[in-house]
Amino acid sequence: MTVATLAEVLQPALNDGYAVAGLVCLGWEDMLAYVAAAEAERCPLILQAGPGCREHTPLPVLGAMFRHLAENASVPVVLHLDHGYSYADCATAIDCGFTSVMFDGSRKPLDENIQETAAIVALAHQAGVSCEGEIGFVGYDGGEESLGTDPAEAGRFAAETQVDAMAVSVGNVHLQQDASASIDTDRLRAIEALTDTALVIHGGSGIDAAQRAELARTTNIVKFNIGTELRMAFGQALRNAINSDADRFDRLSILKDTIAPLTDATRPVLRGLRGQESARDC
């Protein structure tokens, strides 16, 4: 069985200078493709259920799907709740078999974020589950503006919550369709000077592959959340499948044709986070 917690896959990455991909899942086909890509690259993988996914598919179903894939995979697979917005969200995910939860209190005042995150960390750790928190607000392309992480607040947040991983806002933006994000390396280094907690970048699609690899190798960023660029790859694969045969109507036949192209698109994303020239397995 290769079900893993977030801490179990991130600590080796932190020690050895690579990063692990947190891949945003929306359905069965992308989950299959992501696990196939991770097995081909011999890398650990974090399957993530975000708010949009949870709105479409109930958490107990997602937990069962994730766990089935993880238990049958040849690489470590983390079952991760992305952007849980309440204690209840995270508690439900733990009850549904998730091995990692992310509590997003980034819109809350600092003291409230610390207090609520610490309570969820305690709940998660008691259940043998990892917990990711967020300090500083990561905005959305064409939507809410980012609020950069204050290094002093990050140091306090990490110390007082004891999170296993900490998402930070250093120029990264959710939902970017091009790799145009400008990472504030000075802010990042200031955060690293105050805490050695594993760091997470949300909005990883907005950072070009070369910079992702460099950050993975030279900083404490050990998890990149990747959603938009692979959703775009899935969308193109789906359009190709539909357009290839105007008379085809069976959804299973159509959707099956998205798995191989998405697997192919995912492999270089995973490979890049461990360094293109490295032959070392993650």
Tens of pLDDT along 55-102? Answer: 999 999 999 999 999 999 999 999 999 999 999 999 999 999 999 999
How would you class 165 by CB atoms within 10 Å of its CB: exposed for 0-12, middle for 13-18, buried for 19 or more?
buried
Kindly state the tokens that stand for 225: 């959340």
Task: Please say whether the beta carbons of 160 and 135 come within 8 A.
Answer: no
pLDDT for the residue 246:
87
Query: What's the pTM?
Result: 0.94
Q: What is the pLDDT of residues 167-219, one digit of tens each?
A: 999 978 776 777 767 888 999 999 999 999 999 999 888 898 899 999 999 99
| Domains of the chain listed by start with CATH number | 3-272 (3.20.20.70)
Is 16 annotated as catalytic? no
Task: Please say whether the beta carbons of 135 and 157 come within 8 A.
Answer: yes
Annotated catalytic residue within 16, 30, 82, 95: 82
Kindly state the tokens that stand for 5: 């917690």
Residue with tokens 């952007």: 83
